[in-house]
Chain A
């Protein structure tokens, strides 16, 4: 096998007026893990789609394994050339089993006895990457929790049959994994690259990128702007290279306000469904964090509060989705309509919506949230992912809600957008709004006044701002709750 897994020379791709790739030069060597970082809109997604054959470049050359690819490049060709990708939106068929999904990836898994071969293939790979995974190849994908689904998809990407495995692209692979399985994956990447496979790791978790990559490439505005061995970067220089202000991880501490202990209680919830377990309390002006391993009841609690299920809520509330495609965005509508939808009552007179008032609300929030768009009447999908998330924030903040429920809304969002939003959250809290914030990133808990750690659907610890530390969170995530 050639020493180069893939090589891109001057690759360009435009969608109408938008220049997604403005001349990318990139080489990934065999056996190397390349970390790829950049804002949303930097071009990483487009680049990956070009590599996997679902998009063809307007200009430039692509060579796989030292052999130039010209003309006949497609998803099938990319598969045959040994390029696999685990996208952020999972590529599994929910109505099929894990083994059947493996069959879809490998054409040779056909004929008599294909099912056993498929099961063996996927089970052994799962065992190899995620020991103790608890997944049965006959499990239907729809029955698996999101974390297990991601594990199945990742494992499938690394399975080898007739086509050689040259390059595996992982796009935010740990977004639904908990700390233990994420660590297992990063360890496995090291093992796989030692075998000669190349890996491209795209992640917003800078810690992951720094620890797992051999080399790091920073993309910005459709080009690669910085490239160094991983040891040549640290968090600060990485963020600086991406072009936005870096704040230290724990720079902003939460409560700079006078004690909130006397604020009125707005929300009382019982996450475990009974009236006996630990209560979750939210006071006016507080930013409450929900921590713990992913999928341990945090989102369920948010939805419980939203629907007043085993919860008393004394204030209007609003919900900010983390999975914006399924829970947040109205694809056919403009950005403006997406923003104003929660606040229609406020500018309705005699039953009719006032278009002038609606437009002015949209404009106001465009500037308050710094949504990057030439026109709020453009379709919402013209916005990059981070800006779409900002629009969802605007929707909640523009409303009359004084309790804002957030379901890990900063997942997969670029660091620049995140920092803008964090500022907004603290400002709004200072003005009396309350936030219930489920986040899977430890750094974000630094902005909270109080944190509830979840374990197995129940609250296992309640931590005040001054005592928040990674060790304490981890301990509460794994250990029994403190007496």
Chain B
């Protein structure tokens, strides 16, 4: 039994799940047990979208120190706007809208990679600059009446069975797929290798450039998927829909136990962290905390979690 506990304790993601549980317990203690299930369901409902972009961000961050995709919110917005406009509330256009939106997202991914590779711009700046351009594109293309999503899309994004949102199950499937890719495919191994030592990875015969390229495409693609689903969920694509997702995408990756230095990825942690963050906000709302207090506590929580977890243990 001790061995099991130790093994569990070594997993970085356990802390985010424990924290999420602790927050949930505190909340229902406050409400006297009322609405416990609804709180969980709603955390799953909202948290799912952060998880999608968190997965993409996780892959980018894992490819090595300094790699981060700051264009996720912009790509999300662009994708949502294009999807809504092309679909035009008609379910017959849904496939076309999805293809259009995801194609645009892939273009962003390609653009990011070109900036990083050809122009040798550090990823933070490259994705930042491209996000400005992408956002402008989204804003100018999306100006006008807010178009509603087709009914099937809205349903898919909002429907729940037995308190579990359908979209959460889909994202769970996506997460499991990604975890498998990381562990058991050459692509996944290469990502982890590049993150630890890019030069060694090249000298070991790994296809560093292609894998990097694929990872930025993946991140953009996931952001695009999130944009489409989020639009379905919120009844349309708002031009500021990506605002909260930048910090959130990085926060769930880190709080979930993925190493910011690269080379180590943690998929379950993304779930734990996303749930933790949404349960925290719910708890603060229920406690009636003012917006200022809510912001401070969110910040303190992020800092506390990362401080408790500590940074990477440096080798001797």
Q: Which residues of A contact B (CB under 8 A)?
A: 15, 306, 318-319, 321, 326-333, 337, 341-342, 344-345, 348, 351-353, 355, 381, 395, 399
Contact = CB atoms under 8 A, between A and B. Distances in A.
B199 interface: yes
Nearest to B206: A341
Given A321-B200, A341-B204, A330 B186 contact: no
B200 A329 contact: yes
B6 interface: no
A8 to B, nearest CB: 21
A327 B203 contact: yes
A324 to B, nearest CB: 8
15 contacts: A326-B197, A326-B200, A327-B200, A328-B200, A330-B196, A331-B263, A331-B315, A332-B192, A332-B263, A341-B193, A341-B204, A353-B185, A353-B186, A355-B184, A395-B204
A353 B263 contact: no
Contacts, number: 65
B264 interface: yes
Nearest to A400: B205
B100 to A, nearest CB: 29
Interface residues of B, number: 22
Most B CB contacts (10 A, CB to CB) among A327, A332, A355, A395 go to A332
B315 A330 contact: no
B266 to A, nearest CB: 12
Contacts of B196: 330-333
B184 A331 contact: no
Select the residue from B186, B199, B203 with max chain A CB neighbours within 10 A.
B203
A316 B200 CA distance: 17
A328 B203 contact: yes
Given A327-B200, A330-B192, A331-B197, 16 more contacts: A15-B316, A319-B204, A321-B200, A327-B197, A329-B200, A330-B193, A331-B315, A341-B189, A344-B186, A344-B189, A345-B186, A348-B186, A351-B185, A353-B184, A353-B186, A355-B184
Nearest to A18: B316
Contacts of A331: 196-197, 263, 315
B190 to A, nearest CB: 9
Interface in B192-215: 192-193, 196-197, 199-201, 203-206
A25 to B, nearest CB: 24
Interface string B268-304: 0000000000000000000000000000000000000
Contacts of B315: 331, 381
A353 B183 CA distance: 8
A227 to B, nearest CB: 28
Nearest to B183: A353
Nearest to B205: A342
B224 to A, nearest CB: 24
B199 to A, nearest CB: 6
Contacts of B183: 353
B108 to A, nearest CB: 27
A15 B316 CA distance: 10
A353 B199 contact: no
Given A318-B205, A341-B189, A381-B315, A330 B200 contact: yes
A292 B180 CA distance: 48
A327 B180 CA distance: 28
Contacts of B264: 332
Nearest to B264: A332
A310 B180 CA distance: 40
Contact of B205 (A327, A337, A353, A399): A399
Nearest to A401: B205
A28 B263 CA distance: 44
A353 B190 CA distance: 12
Contacts of A395: 204
A328 B184 CA distance: 22
Nearest to B195: A332
Interface in B156-200: 180, 183-186, 189, 192-193, 196-197, 199-200
B204 A352 contact: no
A355 B204 CA distance: 20
A276 B316 CA distance: 49
Given A319-B204, A321-B200, A331-B196, A352 B184 contact: yes
A140 to B, nearest CB: 20
Contacts of B193: 330, 341
Nearest to B189: A344
B203 A381 contact: no
Given A341-B206, A344-B186, A353-B186, A327 B316 contact: no
Contacts of B201: 330
B74 to A, nearest CB: 32
A328 B203 CA distance: 8
B176 to A, nearest CB: 14
User: Which of B197, B200, B201, B206 gathers most chain A CB within 10 Å?
Assistant: B200
B106 to A, nearest CB: 21
Nearest to A46: B316
Given A319-B203, A342-B204, A329 B197 contact: yes
